Amino acid sequence: MAERSASLTINAEAPIELPVYPASVGPAVLDVGALTRQGYFTYDPGFVSTASCDSAITYIDGDEGILLHRGYPIEQLAEQSGHLELCYLLLHDRLPRPAELRDFVDSIKRHAAVDEQALNFYTGFRRDAHPMSIMCAVTAGLAALYHDAFDADDEGYRVDTAHRLIAKMPTLAAMTYRHSRGEPFVPPREDLDYAENFLHMMFAPAGGDYEVNPVLARAFDRIFLLHADHEQNASTSTVRMAGSTGANPFACIAAGIAALWGPAHGGANEAVLNMLAEIGSPDNIPKYIKRAKDRDDPFRVMGFGHRVYKNYDPRAKVMQDTCREVLAELGVDHDPTLQMAQELERIALEDEFFVERRLYPNVDFYSGIILKAIGIPVEMFTVIFVTGRTPGWIAHWKEMVSAPYKIGRPRQLYTGEDRRDYVPIDRR
Ligand code: CMC
């Protein structure tokens, strides 16, 4: 696999040869395994330059603002494909043929309902529990319902589990929302497509009719599609790490949900809306931009910046178009929050601090505004992200367990005490 090698000399020691593996596109990697045998670890807090695995699912070029799933650009997928077609693509290595897509969609519809017993999970939660804590718990709870069949070595099990998770996540998300409102759950319907069904389970009156708005359904399909995968981000790496121990995949996805919750990751869409509310008026934007630049002030412009993208996030562009479509459909194009977001974006993109650090809006900047306009409560935003990201998580779990893998076990730069003897309590 290695076509080249790098030679590392530490002080006057003999050089250490490190194989260099080429990527199909993008940076090659150095295999640093030989360093451990020589008594060194590599040091890379935040894994800024560490490739933790091989993967053929998603490629990002952060400098150019490129995102490819199995080679297909996100803009083309957003324009010409749909969320479930992308789910198939992530799970397999090619676009589905018509019959394959039909079978996949049918399977997702068949698996959308959750077991009666899972309904009881919800009764233990207060109505005001954060929806992400409920999502973590009920997803881990599915491991209890499906543990008997667990066999990560069986491709049939891997595919079934992926279908179950993709199918059930919108149902669990809608149940979480309805629980918070004290409303009865609305079961999934097989005659609706994935996004329509989600809107139906969220907003239909119990036992009554609900007409799904096609513009909003299309917007949700895009939101799910744009969030579907993003290579080795914090939550996906968490899913892989948990999966590398041989844990039940539903529990691994629950671990990913926990990692996604934070405001530096999936919680950013919620944080964007909270930030816009705090700013309050466009007149206050310069004050907040000043705060964002002050190193002694923890304030950051939420929805800006990305570990990988040092250019406009390609998902943010599509999200911006969807945002305009939704606001026009709902007749709220002059929404003050949107106007403030646009003004904040304009000022930040012209500011030297943001320009120098290549800080651009990310996917979360506009998704929160769309969700707010549709009437989704702010604390549900990250749950929508969970629903969108589940196919990516399970595709990565499936890819990992389908080939030989090692338990994820990083090392450390130890900075504590050297060996010392215990001092009995009466002599301290
Ligand atoms: N506002 C103001 N300054 C920022 C921001 C921001 N949003 N993001 C980064 N910076 C500054 C940071 O202070 C640092 O400045 P300096 O060079 O003076 O020390 C410089 O830019 C580099 O930042 P960093 O923290 O080293 O970058 P990182 O790659 O570790 O962090 C990030 C990436 C996404 C955590 C960060 O940009 C951030 O906190 N953004 C706001 C939260 C957010 O929108 N997160 C969603 C990410 S996209 C959705 C997802 O994939 O989950």
DSSP assignment string, 88-112: HHHHSSSPPPHHHHHHHHHHHHHT-
Cα 345 versus chain centre, distance: 23
Cα(43)–Cα(415) distance, rounded to whole angstroms? 13
Instruction: Assess whether the C-beta atom of 230 lies below 6 angstroms from ligand 1.
Output: yes
Please check the confidence at residue 139 and state whether its pLDDT lies above 90. Answer: yes
How many Å lie between the centroid of ligand 1 and the Cα of residue 345?
15
Span of 1-10, 77-86, 347-356 with lowest mean pLDDT: 1-10
Kindly report the average pLDDT of the chain as a whole number. 94
pLDDT band for 182, please (50, 70, 90 cuts). Answer: very high
pLDDT, position 342: 84
163: Cβ contacts below 8 Å, ≥ 6 apart = 104, 107, 108, 111
CA of 166 to the centre of ligand 1 (A): 30
**Mean pLDDT in residue range 336-346:** 86
* CA 305 / ligand 1 centre spacing (Å): 5
Average pLDDT over residues 227-251: 97
Q: Is the pLDDT of residue 2 over 80?
A: no
Contact yes or no for 136/254 (Cβ under 8 A)? yes
Half-sphere exposure at residue 334, Cβ-oriented, CA atoms within 13 angstroms: 0
Q: Using the mean position of ligand 1's atoms as its centre, give its distance from the Cα of residue 217 in Å.
A: 31
Copy the structure tokens of residue 311: 């250019």
Instruction: Bin 279: left if φ > 0, else alpha if -120 < ψ < 50, else beta.
Output: alpha
Q: Is the pLDDT of residue 148 over 90?
A: no
How far is the centre of ligand 1, averaged over its atoms, from the C-alpha of 306 (Å)?
6
* Distance between Cα 293 and ligand 1 center (Å): 12
What pLDDT was estimated at residue 338? Answer: 79
User: Atom 30 of ligand 1 has which residue's CA nearest to it?
Assistant: 307
**Which pLDDT does position 209 carry in this prediction?**
84
Secondary structure of 212-267 as H, E, C letters? CCHHHHHHHHHHHHHHCCCCCCHHHHHHHHHHCCCCCHHHHHHHHHHHHCCCCCCC
pLDDT number for residue 263: 87
- pLDDT surpassing 80 at residue 105: yes
Angle at 264 between CA 324 and CA 309, to 5 degrees: 65
Residue 397 CB–ligand 1 contact under 6 Å: no
pLDDT of residue 134: 98
265 is catalytic: yes
Residue 264, ligand 1, Cβ within 6 A? yes
pLDDT at 308: 87
Any atom of ligand 1 within 6 Å of the Cβ of 147: no
Task: Name the active-site residue from 227, 306, 351, 396.
Answer: 306
Q: Tens of pLDDT along 24-75? A: 999 999 999 999 989 999 999 999 999 999 999 999 999 999 999 999 999 9
Which residue lies with its CA nearest to atom 50 of ligand 1? Answer: 265
Q: Is 92 a catalytic residue?
A: no
Q: What is the residue with the minimal CA distance to atom 4 of ligand 1? A: 300
pLDDT for 333 beyond 80: no
**Do 259 and 252 contact (CB within 8 A), yes or no?**
no
Q: What percent of the chain has pLDDT over 90?
A: 81
Pocket test for ligand 1, best of 63, 362, 386 (most atoms within 8 A of CB): 362
Closest CA to 393 of 240, 266, 242, 268: 240
Given the residues 130, 179, 265, 396, select the one marked as catalytic.
265
Please give the Cα distance from 343 to 283 (Å, whole number): 10
Would you state the pLDDT for residue 311? Answer: 85
Laid out side by side, the sheet with 72-73 consists of: 58-61, 66-69, 72-73
pTM reported for the whole predicted model: 0.91
CB 302 near ligand 1, within 6 Å:
yes
Residue 124: band (very low, low, confident or very high) from pLDDT cuts 50, 70, 90: very high
Name the strands in the sheet holding 16-21, side by side, starting at the edge strand that comes first in the sequence: 4-8, 16-21, 29-30
pLDDT tens for residues 64-97? 999 999 999 999 999 999 999 999 999 998 999 9
What pLDDT, on a 0 to 100 scale, did the predictor assign at position 208? 78
Rounded to the nearest whole angstrom, what is the distance from the C-alpha of residue 349 to the centroid of ligand 1? Answer: 14
Q: What is the pLDDT of residues 352-392, one digit of tens each?
A: 999 999 999 888 888 888 998 888 998 999 999 999 999 99
Q: Residue 67: helix, strand or coil by DSSP?
A: strand
| Probe target for ligand 1 pocket from 233, 307, 349, 366, with the most ligand atoms within 8 Å of CB | 307
- Tokens at 51, concatenated: 């490739």
Please give the pLDDT value at position 269: 86
Given the CA of residue 362, which atom of ligand 1 is nearest to it? 48
For residue 305 and ligand 1, the question of a CB distance below 6 A is answered with yes
> Cα(253)–Cα(242) distance, rounded to whole angstroms?
9
**Ligand 1 geometric centre to CA of 264 (Å):** 8
The percent of residues in the chain predicted with pLDDT above 70, rounded, is 100
Indicate the pLDDT class of residue 276, thresholds 50, 70 and 90.
very high
Intra-chain end-to-end CA distance of the chain, in Å: 58
Q: Span 108-118, mean pLDDT?
A: 95
Amino acid at 89: L
416 DSSP 8-state letter: S
Mean pLDDT, range 232-241, rounded to an integer = 98
**Mean pLDDT of the region 191-206:** 95
Paired tokens of 196: 């329509």
Question: 272 in ligand 1 pocket by Cβ < 6 Å?
Answer: no
Phi, psi of 66, deg, nearest 5: -110, 135
The pLDDT assigned to 270 comes to: 84
Q: Are 281 and 325 in contact (CB under 8 A)?
A: no
C-beta of residue 43 within 8 angstroms of C-beta of residue 413 = yes
Which residue, 324, 363, 102, 326, is CA-closest to 214?
Answer: 326
Tell me whether residue 179 is one of the annotated catalytic residues: no
Alpha carbons within 13 angstroms on the beta-carbon side of residue 188 total 25
Ligand 1 pocket: which of 269, 270, 297, 306 to mutate (most atoms within 8 A of CB):
306
- Does the pLDDT at position 207 exceed 90? no
Asked if residue 268 has its Cβ within 6 Å of ligand 1, the reply is yes
